[in-house]
Structure 1
């Protein structure tokens, strides 16, 4: 059985503008992410892809996509990937994030989030590192993050 979030994503993909509607729904639930106007382009167990356009609201004083917008995109895609991948009875929360800025971020930014290890049901809590790579339209890596997720059983 797949996660409710993944079921919603799959159902909405059948609609015209389904990825736009899904992305808006996510931002309604977690309003802070609306500040970057993300678009989730792929969600499946073990992988989430999303993008943000180079707009004024995510631009810094030197004309590139600002660092916190890239961090927001990384946290969003990592969180959605984990949520879509979790076995029933498990929950998650981000615990920390290490980032590296590799190149100037101009144009549309494309993020891919994947886990470093399998996401499994467990009776004890565990750390789950998630890697996020962000590339520009030319495929140049401009940013990478390693986000520590804390996965634990739901308390009954």
Structure 2
């Protein structure tokens, strides 16, 4: 089991979120809260706050990208074989609707061949509180297997 997944299971969502934001401080700018982490799935919420809005009063594009990378990375870590390593290489995004509420980011790795080295695309969807998909990303993760 990955160290991140072990920490999530042992410490709980609140302490896990705090630890991730301590380890990678930039994620703290969106004040995330993990609600699920397991192999092939991660989910976190991001509260709507003025600090992450744009000139339109909606959640800023980069805040959405930040949330997507957070859930994709933690899910990747929880999904790869023991001893494997990963790094994000790129991200393609689609802004589908204005995000005017809290948002929920969901990474789904169920279609990723985690035991194969190389580049893999991780899909992430972000929804507002009404369930409208406001954002979609495909994050390319490079997997190295020892």
Distance between the aligned counterparts of 1:105 and 1:111, measured in 2?
12
Q: CA deviation at 1:89?
A: 1.5
Deviation at 1:118, TM superposition (A): 2.7
C-alpha displacement of 1:114: 1.3
Q: Distance in 2 between matches of 1:118 and 1:51?
A: 26
**CA deviation profile, 1:8-47 (whole Å, cap 9, x unmatched):** 100112xxxxx22211110000011111111111000000
The TM-score normalised by the length of structure 2 is: 0.96
* Larger radius of gyration between Structure 1 and Structure 2: 1
Match of 2:5 in 1: 6
Unaligned 5+ residue runs, structure 1? 14-18
The aligned residue for residue 131 of structure 1 is 123
Instruction: Extract structure 1 runs of 4+ deviating beyond 2 A.
Output: none
Q: CA RMSD in A?
A: 1.0
Q: Does 1:84 align with 2:78?
A: yes
1:39-72 Cα distance to aligned partner (Å, 9 max, x none): 1110000000011000011111111000000000
Bigger Cα displacement from structure 2, 143-152 vs 55-64: 55-64
Match of 1:64 among 47, 53, 58: 58
Aligned equivalents of 2:90, 2:28: Cα separation in 1: 21
Distance in 1, Cα, partners of 2:138 & 2:100: 22
Segments of structure 2 that go 5 or more residues without pairing to the other structure are: none
Provide the C-alpha distance between the structure 2 equivalents of 1:43 and 1:148, rounded to a whole number of angstroms: 19
In structure 2, the residue matched to 1:36 is 30
Q: Calculate the TM-score normalised by the size of structure 1.
A: 0.90
